[in-house]
Amino acid sequence: MGIETKSISIEKVKTSRIDQIDFNNLAFGSVFTDHMLVCDYKNGAWELPKIVPYQNISLDPSSKIFHYGQSIFEGMKAYKDKNDAIFLFRPLDNHKRFNISANRMCIPEIPEDYFMDGLTTLLKLDSAFIPTNAGSSLYIRPFMFASGKGFHASPADEYKFIIACAPSGAYFAGEVKVLIEQTYSRSANGGVGFAKAGGNYAGQFYPTQLAIAKGYNQVIWTDDTEHEYIEEAGAMNIFVRINDTLITGPTSDRILDGITRKSIIEIAKKEGIPVEVRKITVTEVVNAAKAGTLKEMFGAGTAAVISPISAFGFKDTDYALPKLDTPYAQRIKKIITDIQYNKSDDPYGWRYKVTN
């Protein structure tokens, strides 16, 4: 049973910022809605969530987030259909993964009703910020971090859960060129690679900047020991198409259990596309590129949905992907986005209606 909506206190803004937003020219995640949800964990329990005007956060300099990195987040989107009804895409999977991340980082779990009722109340309040332009959506960022004080290296005793939202355009524009990483690692066995922990992404920035300096857009991460197994593309899961078979690596301690990834696998199976979930070696991909059997590579994640890869670099050689008339990436992305925007039937039960 969910918390009653009346239990969520709401402090509305005095003046909306919506007139300052150009919905026809939205960047990704750089302008924000009027309100945010805040919920504090103190004295061993979660307090009732509240919605307040979007604002800065004040923290003690000894707050443990600054020193020991207890921080997790999720990425979600809200969509409007042609009748202005609001929808989410597999939000209960986001909540489940959020708590998996929380457990790994020794952070208390957030109850489902706090997460879902808080989110839907926030979306209804700021519904005018959900874009209706093609390809746009309201990006939703639930996050949680250690707000408890002290320099002692131990889990905090207080935490803050926040949901903030940003009307956004496309995450990536067009195809990307990637570099297969052979020196740095994103994560390791027994580590926190499967969690959406802030530090996972901070550690990616330096190798990615090195790749950008060489003319690439992103890095393809490989395993931490041999650098032979392909694992993720930037901050996304990765798919490889060899001939007519779509291949993606299995989830593990090192690889995020992506919701878009799971959706692609289910759609591909339903569409009759051969799918293999198995380890993929760099050697296999390079040999397929040389033989002309490598047809597609693409990243998959909430922000971009599917991001086609136009070429990859490995050991000072670039390999271009062919231009296809009907790539799997385009076909599957349309199926996903049509479900998200309520343009088609949803045989999977993924669409979650927020308003009528």
Which carries the bigger pLDDT value, residue 148 or residue 6? 148
Please tell me the CATH code under which domain 176-340 is placed: 3.20.10.10
Q: How far apart are CA 32 and CA 53, in angstroms?
A: 11
So what's the pLDDT on residue 24? 92
Mean pLDDT of 40-47: 97
Structure pTM?
0.95
Residue 202 reports pLDDT greater than 50: yes
Q: Which candidate, 259, 201, 239, 234, places its Cα nearest to that of 77?
A: 259
Residues forming CATH 3.20.10.10 domain(s) in the chain = 176-340
Residue span(s) of the chain under CATH 3.30.470.10 come to 5-168
Give pLDDT tens digits for 44-57.
999 999 999 999 99
pLDDT of residue 1: 45
| CATH 3.30.470.10 holds for 5-168 | yes
Reference 115, options 46, 14, 21; nearest CA is: 46
Q: Would you say residue 5 has pLDDT above 90?
A: no
Residue 164 confidence (pLDDT): 98
Task: Read off the pLDDT of residues 298-341 as tens digits, 9 standing for 90 and up.
Answer: 999 999 999 999 999 999 999 999 999 999 999 999 999 999 99
Could you tell me what percent of the chain has a pLDDT over 70? 97
Q: Which tens digit of pLDDT belongs to each residue from 123-141?
A: 999 999 999 988 899 999 9
The mean pLDDT of the chain is 95
Q: What is the mean pLDDT of residues 105-133?
A: 97
Average pLDDT over residues 159-172: 92
pLDDT band at 7 (very low <50, low <70, confident <90, very high): confident
Place of tokens 């199926």: 335
pLDDT of residue 122: 98
pLDDT at 3: 60
Asked if residue 74 has pLDDT above 60, the reply is yes
Task: Kindly indicate the confidence band of residue 171, based on its pLDDT and cuts at 50, 70 and 90.
Answer: confident
**pLDDT of amino acid 135:** 87
pLDDT average, residue stretch 264-284? 98
Residue 109's pLDDT band (cuts 50, 70, 90): very high
In the predicted model, what is the mean pLDDT of residues 251-264?
Answer: 95
